[in-house]
Structures are given as C-alpha cells and as structure tokens.
Structure 1
C-alpha cells in the first residue's frame, strides 16, 4: 500500500482481525501485561495483571500508579532511569505489594517505547508471579538451615553426654560410699540433681536433631503428671497469667512416654502464654471421655472408646480460620522472624498421634484458643519408672568384659563401676587395641562393651571382627546418638544398646540383662 491510496475493505478486515487477535492474546495472557507512562500512570492492563495484584477489576488496577506497588519509595523512579539507559530490561526480579499489602514476587520484562527525539514515552511491562516458587525456595533454605542446626545440636549433645556420664557416674559412686549423715551428701545430691536437669536438656537437643533414643511407652497417671508440672508451668507463664488446673478424680491411665507428654503440654502452654502478652487466664483440664462413632470421624486412626481428654484453654487473641487450618503444618508460624521454628505444634501433633491419640484445636479471633488432646485409656497401674527413683540394687557378676571407649574419663568410670560389681574388666581406647586384646587374652571374654563412634575402626566393625575370633562373645553398644544404632540395623532382633549418659546403676543393669539372655549376633 502506497501513500495516498485508499485502504481496501479486505485490508481493513485484516487490520481489524489482527487487532482482535492481539486484544484476545492480551486479555487471555497468563502474565500480567501493562502499558504505562514514564510517570507511572497505567494506560492499559489485562485481567491477569489485576488478579495478580489483588484488584477486583481492570478499571481498579488502572487507577493505581506503579509507584504504589513498590514497598520502597523511589523504586519506580530508579527503574525508569535504568530503562532510559538500557532501553529494555529482561528477567528482572522484584518484590511488589498487592492491594492488601501482602508481598508479590515477580519476574518482569520491561520494554521502553521511545519517540523520534529518543524520549521515553511509554513503558510496556510483563509480570510473571513467582511468589509460590519463592516460598518453596524459602522453605527449602529454612529446612536446610534446620538440618544444619540439628546436626550441630546433635554433635554438641553427643559431647555433653560423655561429660554427663562421667559427672553422674562419679557422683553416684561417691554417694554410695558416703554414710547417710555425711555433710557432703547434700552437695553431691545438688550436683546429681543439676546433672539430671542437664541430661534432660541434652535429650531435648537430641529430639530436635532426631537423634534421641525411642523411649519405651509406659502406663502413665496423667493426673500425677499434670500435678508435677504445675510449679514449672507457673514459672514459665509468669505472674501476669492466671493458671488453673482441674483433673477429674479417677482419671484413667494412658500408655505414652512421660517426657514426650510433658513436651506437648509445655509447648501448648508456651503458645498460650505468647497469645496473652498483656495477661489472661489459662485453664488445663483433664477428664475421662467416651467417644462415639460420630465423634471420631474427623480422625481416621481413632476408634470409638474411652479416652482421657486434656483441654488447654487460653483467653488470648485467638486465630482466624486460615491460621487455624495451617497450625499443624511444618514451618508454619505466626511469630516474628527468628522467634519460632514452626515445628512445635507439628511435633506435638506427631507425638500424640504416635501414642494412639489425637490433637485438635478450636479458636476464633478475640475468643482465645482451646487445644484438646485425646489419649486412649488403658488398664493397669501406672509404671513406677515415671517416679524416677533408682532402686540402688546391685547387679553383680564375675564374667570378663572388654570395655572399648575413646573418652578416657568414660572408660575409667565404666571400668570402676563394673569392677565394683565383681566383673573382670579389660579396656581399650580404640578398635585396634581392642582387637589385640581379643587375640592375646587367653581366657573367655563374655561381653564386648563398645562405643559406636571410635576412630579408625568403629564399634560395629569391631564387633564383627571380634565375633570371628570369639563367636560366643556378646555385644553391648553405647553412644550419645541413638540413630547411629538404628541407621545400620536391619536385623529382626536389634542389637543391645545403652544410650549415654548412663549411671553405674544403669550400666550394670544393662550388662546383666545382656549377659543373661541368649546369644546375640552383632
């Protein structure tokens, strides 16, 4: 077509069809497309742009200047200056703000339209929403950080378990040698108590790093457990919060690990405290409940029957439906950055579920929150193990035991504890020395007591080589980590294991158990 010639009808139709196709492409494009002035006014945008930024309509989106989308003042002006120099910006990452103020992460392509005088007159932009991708990346980084912190915590806990084994063991033997009236007993009892609390802290570190031994579930009296926690919980929440505990007489017994149930209750109480920064009321109630078929439909693994229900209710700020629906998701937290891991409630949920129960939450904004724990009632008396008192009974023997431990103080303690109980003890600081003793010793070695983490030759390899020389020798492993045992154990019958820190009483008890049972293949 040359200048001055009229446009034919076919050319007009082709032009209209081209415009229609472009308009359809523009309207249906999944990226957020816009045309704007250098000053930031939106001349045109598509529905995807409006939806992406949280506007109800294209008209509403056009009324919002580009400057209002940036969280930092002057960011749009800096972008325009860069566009004037570069003329085209491709694959630029940016964080914008939606209409409701929530962050929107985008990858954008921006093209400048220049006039004959090379002045920027219009901006064409294309936005791709990568917010979900960014969240996944952040969760991955968080997960990797938690894994690294977990490994660090596990390593620290392993070292402390060795120290605590020595402290607790020597204190226990010193107490056994002192008469009841000795003035020094009170000081030693304080050391024993403090080391016990330190051991509990180490167990928490190992639980966090997933390296704690699986604790046997015993029959618990929850009424007694809650009563024992009362004083500690009052210190935990502070004087500005009123704590009320009510336990039904004749409360049923449940089968669970006492330490884990304590962890769940403490976690829920801490969350309740954080929801009441200006004070309030916290009520812990426990009662027997019989759940019918209709009441257990929301939990697939629950069955109709008799349960103990623990209700923890606070008068705090409460939660909206969206928050309530996500509280048991790993890494979800409403606390400030750095104030919470987002693992507390998921861990609590997992503990209760593993105990055959269920954890349920109810809440509304301004009406506080209630967490309900259901644990199945079992028959039988509460285990005396939860009281925590050592029997003090001796576990004597006369067998020969080869102790292999690279920590001198732990090895010395084990030797002394076993010799006090009548055993003949050989000891070695590493696997090589242990093999030489095994080869040279003329008599029977009844038991190999070895740490798993030895230099050069680890405990499991040592046990396998020693078994070739002495097929009748039994094996007892020790470690500050529990997962070292589980990671490589595929046997139907797990090897005998004693987790650090252990006391002389626990050591001699476990040794006697292993020596008294049938042959164990390492």
Structure 2
C-alpha cells in the first residue's frame, strides 16, 4: 500500500525547501562576486543553507508520514544525512563557481545525487515496526528529477537576473528537492503486518521537530544576513557605480577631443562632452548626427549633405565593428568647413549585445594644412636643390669657359709681353754686351773702361728692377718692409722723379708737414711711384703738368678707419674711358704701341700696394687727365736710417775656407772671383750631394755659401740643415734670385743670413762680415 502524508506538512516542507533554496542561491551569487577568504566563507554559508534546507524539508515531510505504527529516528543516520547534504551541496557550488559547461553538468549531477543520498539516508534512519520497501523505478525517477532541477537551478543562479528570475530559480531548486522527495516517497511500499511492542532507542518525533525548527530558524537567520548584506553591498555598488560614472564623465569631459555616446541602433545622442560642441561649433542635441539641418553637419566634397549610410556612427552600429579613423568634412555652426578625423565603435555589454556606440573625433584641418605646406616646402626644396645643381653646373661650365678665355687672353698677353720684355732686355743687354766688348778689346784704356763698366752696371740694375716687377705682379717677389718716412723717400728721390717725367713737363711736389712713417719696401715704393710718374708722363703732352701730393687721412675707401698715408699723382693728360679704367691694373694690359710698354707697370703698383696692406684708386675722364691715389697704413714706429749703398771701405775679416754651392757655372765663376778678391779660399760644388761629400772630407771649411734653388733632391735650405747637423760650428750664408713662399717663411725665422741676387762684391763682403760677427776672433779692424 502507499504511504500517506498530512497535507499541512506537505505545504510546510515545500515552503521550507523554496526558502532554503532562495537563501542558498543568493549566497552562491556572492560566492562568484568575491575572492579569497570571503569567497570561501560565502561558499560554506551557501552549502550549509542548501544542505539544511534539503534536510529540514525531508524531515518536515517525514513528520507528516504515517505508516500506521510508531516512528522514531536513528540519531547517527539523521546527522549523517545532514552532513551528506551539506557536503554534496558544497562540492556542487564550488565546482559550479568556475566557468564552463562541463562544470555545470557535473555540479548538477553531484547536487541531484546528494539530494537523493540525503533522502535515502534519512529514510534509513526511520525506526518503525512497519516494513518499508522502495520501488527501484521511483528511485531512478527521483534521481532524474533531482539532477534535472538542480542543473537548471545552477544555470539560473550563474546568470545576471532580476528579482523575479532569482525567485523562479529558488522555486525550481526547491521544487527539485520537494519533487524528488515525494517522487521517492511515492515509490515506498508498506508491507502488511501487525505492530507489536514499542521500539526502543532513537529520537522521537517531538525531538525531531525541535531540531527541524532549529534548522529552519538557522536558514531564516542566514536569509536575513544575506538580505542585509545584499542591501549593503548593493548600496556600496551603487555608490561605486555612481562614482565611476562621474569619474568617467569627468575624464571624457576633459579629453582633448570630441566624444559623444549614442544609443544603438537609433543613433540618439545620450552624452556629448564640451570639446565636441567646441569642435562642431554648435551645441550637440539628442537627435542623431545625420538628422542635422543642411546648415550644419557632415558634408561631401561638393558641400552636399552626407547621407545617413555614409556616417561612421551609422556604419559602426549596423556592422557592429569599429569604423575609422577616417577623414570627414563637417560644416560648423559658423559656416566654416573643417576636416575631422572620426572613429566610431559599438560598446557591447556582458552578453555581447551593443546598445550603445561611441564616437571620437578631432579637428585636423590645421594639421592637414601644415602637412600640405610641408609637402610644398619639400617640393620647393627639391626644386631649389635641382636649380642649385643646374646653376652650379652652369657656373662650372662658365668657369671652364672663363678659364679657357683667360688662358687665351694670357697667351695673347704673353705674346705682347714677349715683345715688350724682349725689347727692354735687348736694350739692356746691348749696353752690357757692348760695354764689355769694348773693354775687352781695348783693356789699356782704363778711364774709358770705368765709364763703360758703370753703364753696363746701370743697365744690369735696370734689368734687376724689371725682374722684380715681374715677380711682384705674380705676387712671388717677397717684400722687405721697413719703417720709412715716405716724405723723406720722396724728397731724396725728387731728382729721379723729375728726370723720369722729362724736362719739358712741370712736376709739382707738395708734401704734408706731418711725419708719414709706414712699413713698406722702400725700393718697391720708389718703383711704384716711378711707374705712376712714367705713365703720367706718357699720357701728357710735352708741356703738361704732373702733381705729386701727400696727406695724412683717416680711413680709406674700402679699408675702413685708421690713419693712412695718401699719395696722389695727378696729370693733365688725355685721360681714360670707363672701359680702360676697368682693365688698367690687369697684368700685360697696355694702351701703348708695340715695343713701348709691357703692361706691367700699373700691375706692379697694384701688387705692391695690396701686399703692403693698402689700396689704390683712380679717377679719370677722357680729355680731363687722370688722378691715382695710393693709400698706405701708417705705423707708430720711428723711421729707420737707410745705410749707404755706395761702399767706400769695409771691415776686413780673416781669410776663410768657403764651400760655394752654385749650379750655374757662370754665377759660380763670378762669385768665386769675388771671394778670391776678398782673400778667401774657395771649394766649389754644383749640387747638394757634392757639397756634403766635400764637407765630409774637408774639415777645414768655415763657411757654407749656397744657392737655395738647385736641382736634385735637396735645395739650399735643406742642405744647410744637413750641414749644420754634421758640423754644428759651420757658418751659413744663403743666396737666391727667387726663393718662393715656403723658403721665405723659413728664412723669416732668421736662422741664417740671406744675400739676394744679383749682388756686387761690396754687398757680398758686407754679408760675410755679418756672418763673421758670430765668431768675434775672425774680425780684424783696419
């Protein structure tokens, strides 16, 4: 026969199961929201609540169980049934708290099995004289009901749901417990038989009722704690959510780009920051961005309104993906069209549904303009570089053409120079050769020989000056500056200047009264002035006038401030045109006829002035004469006394053994004769190598007299250095007609005295005396 249950206890047991399930599932929801010790605490509380609810429901229902005999309960099995319910529920909740479908299935099976195990353990605790049997079919049905309902309840508990959904999950789980119990009890069979004596031991129904009341009270206590905690946690969560929302709004509000949030899929604006309104030039209303009026909003390149389907926000919501960044033209509230860089993206919730979309944008108009300008500048730079290359190439070609033209002009000038210099040197050589020829043919006429010798010497001196001019034009003749009073030089040279101008021309010499001391080469200065006077005389008629004026001035036309000596040579000649004045200082340029000039005079003047740190200017008109002004910087030094150029007698020195090194045989012969006349013994060498050999053999050599420019691997300067290393006591005297810049720099140090070619015997004697001063015992006063 079937077992009967009292309806009141059926209702009470169902309510207990649902209340316990609500409490357990609510506590289980907190398990998933916590970590660490709190997680374990809430897990234990949920397991206890669920286990107690299952146990209480079972034994409340058993209170309404009437098998027709006295019923008592085994205490040990009763407690064991409670522990089994709690343990099975704890495992199921723990396993289900992690993500995964498999975990949910396993947890549902374990919880259903735990409910069944608790039920049949509780049934085993029943002590009665009646015989009870369980139908296997209903046992299986009870297990299926328990597992199915438990799995559904766990799935519902893991989802975010409303209060009604949470209540439904509690009812489903409670129904699983109740359904399993009464399904199992429906399968209990009572075997007929008369009841006999009372059952000893166990726990009676009253004691069980008290235990059930305590368990139910504990369930209600946990439910109260959960409810209070739920309110507290929800309040904290609400405040935290509000604080997070306010913080997020503040961050978005202060972003340096426009941002607005729109509802999907309508496009209605829910929020827009201040930067969005500033960039768009108008307030952002709730309507979608594509529903703006034609006066404002996104536009195409032609200025027409942008269709809804082409908006980045619309596409992001429709395609549920991020769109951009991309450029979008926008007509602002003030009518100005700007370029915006726009990015739109949907905002999915935890379920993956997109109910919102966010749009971020910034004004890149100036950036695009700057990039365009940078590209334009880069293109201009490229064009400029190309033009520079072409200009450089053209200039190089022009320079090559100019060089070729200059070469051709120099060749032409050299042709003119050949005639002029050949003419001058032939005249000089005619005097020298003619005089020497007469002297050699008539050696007895001593008076006539002296006169002719003087003429030959004067001609040679003119040749020396011409050579000096040629070197000065090429800037290869070194100047020997001295502190000279230029007015004194003019006074001393006045007869020479008047002679150069010619007797028929009037020469006016007007000198300033102030001292005019400058660092110049006096010989070059006299030569420059002679060139200016000769040019003035050539340009003037026989009765013309030449004025030589000096003055102390402050500043020069292109040299700036400072005190300068100005020498002005003015004539009343034919004057010059502008074209001629542009070329007068060019080497080899001349307006004189063939054979009448070399074109080197004014170039020599120009070279001397520039080398002396000065400046020369010219002022002339055709038919109005010419005026040349030479500016030379003054010095604070006193003028040096110029030594006499005409020897009367010189200091004699003890005879020396002189090693003469000269590659020119004729020069060597003359120099050797001079040295013999001065009483010295001479050893001759034609190059440096032979000189070193003699030095190695002849230990008696006192003086090395060497030319500087010589063939071979060593020049005279290098020979002197080697010789002094071999013979530190050896005296050295160097000589040359031209030394070059490097040798001049070496000689400027004053290591050894220097004798300039050409020279005469008294000049050689003076230099030998200077050398001998280094050895005081060699000098003999007479």
**Residue equivalent to 1:195:** 457
**Residue equivalent to 1:449:** 705
- SS of residue paired to 1:311: strand
Change (3 A) 1:391 1:381: farther
Please give the per-residue CA displacement for 1:302-359, whole angstroms capped at 9, x wherever unaligned.
644363x433222233234454455445566556788766553343123124334432
**Residue equivalent to 1:38:** none
Give the CA deviation at 1:502: 1.5
**Residue equivalent to 1:364:** 621
Alignment of 1:98-497 (within 5 A): 137-143=404-410, 184=446, 187-188=449-450, 190-209=452-471, 210=474, 212=477, 214-220=479-485, 221-235=488-502, 239=504, 242-248=505-511, 250=513, 252-255=515-518, 256-276=520-540, 279=542, 281-289=544-552, 291-292=553-554, 296=555, 298-300=557-559, 303-305=561-563, 307=565, 309-321=566-578, 323-324=580-581, 327-329=584-586, 343-376=600-633, 380=638, 383-385=641-643, 388-408=645-665, 410-421=667-678, 423-443=680-700, 445-454=701-710, 456=712, 458-460=714-716, 462-483=719-740, 486=743, 489=746, 492-493=749-750, 495-497=752-754
Give the CA deviation at 1:396: 0.9
Please give the per-residue CA displacement for 1:258-280, whole angstroms capped at 9, x wherever unaligned.
3322322232233334434x655
Give the CA deviation at 1:195: 0.9
Work out the CA distance in 2 between the residues paired with 1:144 and 1:325.
Answer: 20
The answer on whether the counterparts of 2:658 and 2:680 sit within 8 Å (CA) in structure 1 is yes
Work out the CA distance in 1 between the residues paired with 2:580 and 2:416.
Answer: 27
Change (3 A) 1:148 1:489: farther
Change (3 A) 1:247 1:397: farther
Please give the per-residue CA displacement for 1:195-224, whole angstroms capped at 9, x wherever unaligned.
134123223224314454533435241332
2:764 counterpart of 1:502: no
- SS of residue paired to 2:526: helix
Please give the per-residue CA displacement for 1:172-204, whole angstroms capped at 9, x wherever unaligned.
xxxxxxxxxx98367425513531341232232
Larger helix proportion of the pair: 2
Work out the CA distance in 2 between the residues paired with 1:144 and 1:382.
Answer: 43
Bigger Rg over Cα:
2
- SS of residue paired to 2:547: strand
The answer on whether the counterparts of 1:448 and 1:474 sit within 8 Å (CA) in structure 2 is yes
Work out the CA distance in 2 between the residues paired with 1:320 and 1:389.
Answer: 45
The answer on whether the counterparts of 1:254 and 1:375 sit within 8 Å (CA) in structure 2 is no
The answer on whether the counterparts of 1:395 and 1:509 sit within 8 Å (CA) in structure 2 is no
- SS of residue paired to 2:479: coil
Question: Which shows bigger deviation, 330-339 or 188-197?
Answer: 330-339
- SS of residue paired to 1:299: coil
Work out the CA distance in 2 between the residues paired with 1:331 and 1:455.
Answer: 31
| TM-score, scaled to structure 2 | 0.39
Change (3 A) 1:338 1:190: closer
Work out the CA distance in 2 between the residues paired with 1:485 and 1:511.
Answer: 25
Work out the CA distance in 2 between the residues paired with 1:366 and 1:399.
Answer: 64
**Residue equivalent to 1:49:** none
The answer on whether the counterparts of 1:447 and 1:515 sit within 8 Å (CA) in structure 2 is no
| TM-score, scaled to structure 1 | 0.55
Change (3 A) 1:334 1:188: closer
Work out the CA distance in 2 between the residues paired with 1:417 and 1:336.
Answer: 42
The answer on whether the counterparts of 2:547 and 2:571 sit within 8 Å (CA) in structure 1 is no
Work out the CA distance in 2 between the residues paired with 1:234 and 1:491.
Answer: 37
Change (3 A) 1:392 1:458: farther
The answer on whether the counterparts of 2:620 and 2:627 sit within 8 Å (CA) in structure 1 is yes
Work out the CA distance in 2 between the residues paired with 1:477 and 1:148.
Answer: 35
Work out the CA distance in 1 between the residues paired with 2:681 and 2:645.
Answer: 30
- SS of residue paired to 2:527: helix
Larger strand proportion of the pair: 1
Work out the CA distance in 2 between the residues paired with 1:424 and 1:342.
Answer: 46
Work out the CA distance in 2 between the residues paired with 1:151 and 1:488.
Answer: 32
The answer on whether the counterparts of 1:223 and 1:247 sit within 8 Å (CA) in structure 2 is no
- SS of residue paired to 1:384: coil
Change (3 A) 1:272 1:336: same
**Residue equivalent to 1:104:** none
Give the CA deviation at 1:424: 4.5
The answer on whether the counterparts of 1:280 and 1:314 sit within 8 Å (CA) in structure 2 is no
Larger relative contact order (C-alpha < 8 A, sep ≥ 6)? 1
- Unpaired stretches in structure 2, ≥5 consecutive residues: 1-396, 776-782
Give the CA deviation at 1:482: 3.3
The answer on whether the counterparts of 2:498 and 2:507 sit within 8 Å (CA) in structure 1 is no
Work out the CA distance in 2 between the residues paired with 1:147 and 1:337.
Answer: 13
